[in-house]
Structure 1
Amino acid sequence: MADSVTTTRRRLRPRLDLTPLRSRNFRLLFAAEAVSVFGDAFHAVALPWLVYRIGGGARELGLLVAVYGLCRLATTPLGGILADRVGAWRVMLAADLARLASTAGIAVAAFTGVRDLLLLGLLVAGTGLGAGLFQPAAYAITPRLLPPEQLQSGNALNSTAAFAAGLAGPGVAGLVVVALSPGAAFTVDALTFAVSAVCLAAIGAGHRRAVPVVAEAGSPSAPRVTFRRLLRESPLLRAVLVVTAAANLTVGGMVRVGLPSLASVDLAAGPGGFGGLLAAFTGGSLAGGLFSAGLTGLRRRGATAMFSGLVMAGAVALVPFAGYAGALVALAVAGVASTVTNVLIITVVQQNTAGHLLGRVMSAVLFAALGLFPLSTVVAGVVVDAYGSTVLFLATAATLAAAFGFGLSRRAIRDR
């Protein structure tokens, strides 16, 4: 018995398995996602201050972020379909080129002093359209680059790389906005999309030689299973979609509207302080990626993911009451819990999905996560203006607790 306990502890010891990096194509994907997320941080920090500079407020920021969210939502299902039919890497490359053009346009508008919110909205819409195409393809391509036993480590590595880049991004972006301008920050963002596109182009069609992950229920008849039939017959997929939708009900508005307001109004921390808060969450998310890489010996990934989500809910509830230093700590804890939950649930879904449906299934999960994002940001702007950011943080904590509590009650998730 003692030997068994020791073996289990060794398997659960957090460590970062670098085996997936032996694959050339995975290394390119790893680099592309890392540099792209680094640029995303510049967009997230620069956009609020650009809006405020041209005379807008929380409502205008909420509307612009809602435009981004609606466009991203509109192309998410298409991204999954195209990933399954024409290849995930092609979809990702096209999405990066579209975002490069749109972000460069925002930078030009910022440098030239354009105050047209409609034009800014159109350019933000372009970045949203590209993001919607990109993400489901990114989730679908990893199982095609790695063998099944390396999948969770690969997901953890992708998360770790993305959050490592994101950890540096917000702080640097805040400094760039303060020392230079929002236009300079958007220029950096555009350049990162160019680098990401070069990495993705180098992957080429070679990844097709890899054998995709097949669902546990996979069999010679698996290719005949349609997405509609899978949705009808899989309690796991249905439960994941419900939990994902509920958990993300107010998170988007909290991060994109509530957090800037908390930094600028309640904490009087300015752009640099806002960047620091984002960096704290991202740093915690990075630690969560490292931690989740050591959880490959788990027998029930689903239950662990739901408990981790409840920890996130508690941390979010503390953010507005803890002062700036306390908010940094609480956001770091929320970041750890968020990444552990995401890595484990994504791995469970990937390992239980036939290869020919990976793109569509991942796009469905993303659609559930993003479906209420536009409404969330608009409502968040109204709530923050009327009641302050504290109410928004408490509402977010409550919805997270309800979502993950429901997930724990579902055997389809709990026993995976």
Structure 2
Amino acid sequence: MSEKTTIFWFRRDLRLDDNCGLFHALKSGKKVLPIFIFDKEILSKLQKNDSRVSFIYQEIKKINLQLLEIGSALEVYYGKTIDIYNSLSEKYAIETVYTNHDYEPYAIKRDLEVKQLLTSKNINFKTYKDQVIFERNEIVKKDGTPYKVYTPYSKKWLEAFHFKGIQLYPSEEHFENFNKSKKNQLLTLNEIGFTTSSIKIASYNISSGLIDQYEETRNFPAKDSTSKLGTHLRFGTVSIRKIADKASKSNDITFLKELIWREFFMQILWHFPHTTKDSFKPKYDRILWRNNEDEFETWCKGETGYPLVDAGMRELNQTGFMHNRVRMLVGSFLCKHLLIDWRWGEAYFAEKLHDYEQASNIGNWQWVAGTGVDAAPYFRIFNPTTQIQKFDKDLNYIKKWVPDFQELTYPAPIVEHKLARERCLETYKKALVDF
């Protein structure tokens, strides 16, 4: 065990090209052992046929095949991360562990524990920015405090982006520095307690045509005009730097601004980790939610009697995806029409959405509930019927996902819109008036 080992730990960066932490590991002059850990603490909360686990497995198999071609291999482990590193430190004479930053509260806690363990064994732990263009405190106000409103944040983000430009990290040019290995046996999905999901994660589309026409087409769910990029950014199968660079070259920066929204919510979660459980605006935690479990179940199944709401929920349940415009409607409907706590909806999306990203999901749910930063005002209540005329007037999206919407078997509306609106306004006002 005398020969020193350098490890690169794949996480939310499942690719070999333009991978910042991997680039620095390969450039260190040491032979690099690539590893991936299926984290038991994360997996234990998921259903055994979770399509995201199948997707991750598929992507690490791709990485392993590329590594086998150059005489290396990916070592894959399953267990508690801290236990895995304990055993790795006994198996190898580790000098340094390289990886990329993760910003979610669980990941921050996990990485701190790993760093403390490694430090106690005189092992270096180096992490790098990779899944965002700007992180943490890089885009803040002049006084150093975080932005809580998107528009000024996005302006400063764009200024910094145009000033600094894009720096790529061509990890793919240094494959000769991977260690040589004869191992090529990955764990199977069954060995980590999972089965292959029947739901497949869609490929992404970032053609110039889609980006250039994004503003014109993005609000119409019947059109196949969304990039499906979210899952790939979530797990790092694409480089955010390459995506942002391409988006910035379009005459219309609407698509780029969607990427900025992602980073806005990520820095909000970084600065305000309590928002995973509590409303950003404390007074909104005084709302007396109705939290009717039967109505929540009806919403989950897509049987509310409002075709556009039901279409969105059925699309989610069957595919793991929902169009963004419809996400706003179904979220607003749950919180404002049914007066069900946004945290219930957030948890359901966390279970079902392929592109679930904690920061964006919490940020957007708090937005529709009126409880978060830069949120929709509480009196903004989407009308689920007039939204059809605006965004699906030919009913193509509804016909696809709710083919029974004109049949006698289709349920009557779970609540009358006007009544729900008045009840919502009264409930919110009651909670906020004395604060």
> Normalised by the size of structure 2, how large is the TM-score?
0.27
Higher percent of residues as helix: 1
Point out the structure with max Rg over C-alpha.
Answer: 2
Higher percent of residues as strand: 2
> Normalised by the size of structure 1, how large is the TM-score?
0.27
